[in-house]
């Protein structure tokens, strides 16, 4: 059985939970509190030398890290990952966008507000992350003008990856009112079979 080390309120961990549920796979969940430095203990660092969550244990001693690589592993052979060479690469393109442009802005802003309680010394960084986050959201809104999902008009792990932190962007101070297509897409994802909420 798969074992995930993570925190369901982390978008990167929630992605994995959502896909596992939607694939109908059994798993154990080991809760890791990063604020209590549980991802920096010697035992955890043996599991993942990067000291980060989520971690997927596939079998004893077989471990996979990086949320989007975990999604790819779990989705292979399912409808959540296209077989077509170009569509497959397009899914990955949005997942790299998510980790490089979206996560460091949208997710980091939420971390400062929700987890660090918005300390004054982080205010300048927060404002820059909010500005960069709106740029990332504008790219998504533009792409969704003529599409229902990010790639090939089908729900895929690209949508799951981008949904994870977008659907809680308001917790970082983002106002999605003007992002009409993003809001429709968020609602569409919630109607997918076996969808579960972050706190479910």
Q: Considering the rule CB under 8 A, would residue 104 count as an interface residue with its own copies?
A: yes
The DSSP letter of residue 182 is H
* Count of residues of this chain found to bind its own copies when the rule CB under 8 A is applied: 33
Stretch that binds its own copies, among 22-30, 96-104, 114-122, 191-199 (CB under 8 A): 96-104
Backbone conformation region of residue 149, classed left if phi is above 0, alpha if psi is from -120 to 50, else beta: beta
Q: Which residues touch 67 (CB under 8 Å, ≥6 apart)?
A: 12, 13, 15, 16, 54, 161, 164
List C-alpha distances in Å: 148 to 3, 104, 143, 189: 32, 25, 10, 10
* Residue among 22, 53, 54, 66 that touches its own copies (CB under 8 A): 66
d(C-alpha 163, C-alpha 182), whole Å: 10
Q: Considering the rule CB under 8 A, would residue 100 count as an interface residue with its own copies?
A: yes
Q: Considering the rule CB under 8 A, would residue 197 count as an interface residue with its own copies?
A: no
Stretch that binds its own copies, among 3-11, 14-22, 68-76, 179-187 (CB under 8 A): 68-76
3-class secondary structure, 98: helix
Stretch that binds its own copies, among 26-34, 65-73, 170-178, 183-191 (CB under 8 A): 65-73
Strand-pair partners of 27: 2
Stretch that binds its own copies, among 14-22, 29-37, 73-81, 109-117 (CB under 8 A): 73-81
Which parts of 112-141 interact with its own copies (CB under 8 A)? 139
The DSSP letter of residue 32 is -
Residues 156 and 78 sit within 8 Å (Cβ to Cβ): no
Residues 179 and 136 sit within 8 Å (Cβ to Cβ): no
Task: Supply the minimum distance, in Å, between the C-beta of residue 139 and its own copies.
Answer: 6
* Residue among 3, 21, 30, 99 that touches its own copies (CB under 8 A): 99
Residues forming the site for its own copies (CB under 8 A): 49-50, 58, 62, 64-70, 72-73, 76-77, 85-86, 88-90, 92-93, 95-97, 99-101, 103-104, 139, 142-143
């Amino acid at each position: 059985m798969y074992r995930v080390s993570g925190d369901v309120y982390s978008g990167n961990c929630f992605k994995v939970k959502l896909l596992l549920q939607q694939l109908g796979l059994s798993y154990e969940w080991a809760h890791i509190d990063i604020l209590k430095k549980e991802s920096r203990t010697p035992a955890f660092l043996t599991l993942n030398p990067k000291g980060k969550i989520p971690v997927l244990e596939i079998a004893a001693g077989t471990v996979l890290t990086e949320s989007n690589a975990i999604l790819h592993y779990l989705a292979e052979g399912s409808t959540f990952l296209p077989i077509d060479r170009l569509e497959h690469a397009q899914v990955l393109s949005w997942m790299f966008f998510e980790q490089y442009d979206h996560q460091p802005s949208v997710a980091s802003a939420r971390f400062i507000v929700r987890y660090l309680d918005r300390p004054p010394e982080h205010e300048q960084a927060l404002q820059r992350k909010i500005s960069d986050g709106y740029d990332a959201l504008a790219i998504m809104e533009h792409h969704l003008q003529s599409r229902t999902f990010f790639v090939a008009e089908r729900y895929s792990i690209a949508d799951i990856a981008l949904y994870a932190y977008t659907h809680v962007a308001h917790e970082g101070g983002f106002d999605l009112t003007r992002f009409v297509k993003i809001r429709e897409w968020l609602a569409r994802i919630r109607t997918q079979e076996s969808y579960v909420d972050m706190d479910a």
